[in-house]
Amino acid sequence: MFDNIENVEIKCNCGYIHEMHRILELAGLTENITSYNLDQKYTEFNSKFFNNKLPEIPVKWGKLSKVGGIAKCETLTKNNVKTIIPNSMSIKISSVYERDEKNLDGILLHEMIHILMFVEGKFKENHGSLFKNEAINIGNKAGIEIPLTDDTSNLLLANEKLKTVIVIVYISKDGKYCFSMVSPKSYNYDPNTIDIIDRMKKIKDFKTYEITSPIWTKTATRLSVPRSIKSVSQMIWRYATEEQINDLETNGKIL
């Protein structure tokens, strides 16, 4: 009899930070998944980049949260030899995040490299050196960056509505931009918040912006935005990224 049966499942974000910042700045340039043919892309990539080594497998969309894709494979072990159970491999690509075609290509290729590792018997490779080498080589051939990590923190959900936030910015003594956020309702109607912001606006080093954009929606969704500020000490200050500052200067309204 078989010693054991295993189900190998590799979950991947396949959302890479710098590319996603660029994509999210271009609000509206998101790929409608109905126009992205997974089967056609899989066949094309298998021929171009894998020498048709990969088997025909189901490649489908799925409502996956916190991951960009999943590559699955079931194996069995007999006499210490592990083999793949026929027809057990599959790929699912998350349909819940905003991405353009190149980003989707990178996600699919990422999952296809996992399938290649399964086919070659490297079941424990995950995102090891062999995987990374394949990702870099195939990425160079395809002219895109294939993500190497599992970080979805910079992806915006496809059904996530844009939020308007008030952002206060100043330059710290070490020359870095710092920011704090408040809600528009608090900024416009809360007496304590209005008083504190008015006093800060009189200091030339502080700038106050109103902005509605994917980058700042993502920031406000993942970080705390106080509803009311009773003292300056209650304001939460963080270092701003270059992308956040550029977004404010391009799309924000100075108040």
Question: Averaging pLDDT over each range in 31-45, 143-157, 207-221, 240-254, which range is the top one?
Answer: 240-254
Tokens of 71: 């590559």
Residue 119 has pLDDT above 90, yes or no: yes
Is residue 218 within 8 A of residue 154, CB to CB? The reply is yes
Q: Give the model's pLDDT for residue 237.
A: 82
Residue 131 has pLDDT above 70, yes or no: yes
- Using CA atoms, how far apart are residues 205 and 217, in angstroms rounded to an integer? 25
- Taking Cα atoms as reference points, which of 68, 65, 73, 113 lies closest to residue 93? 68
Tell me the average pLDDT of the chain.
Answer: 79
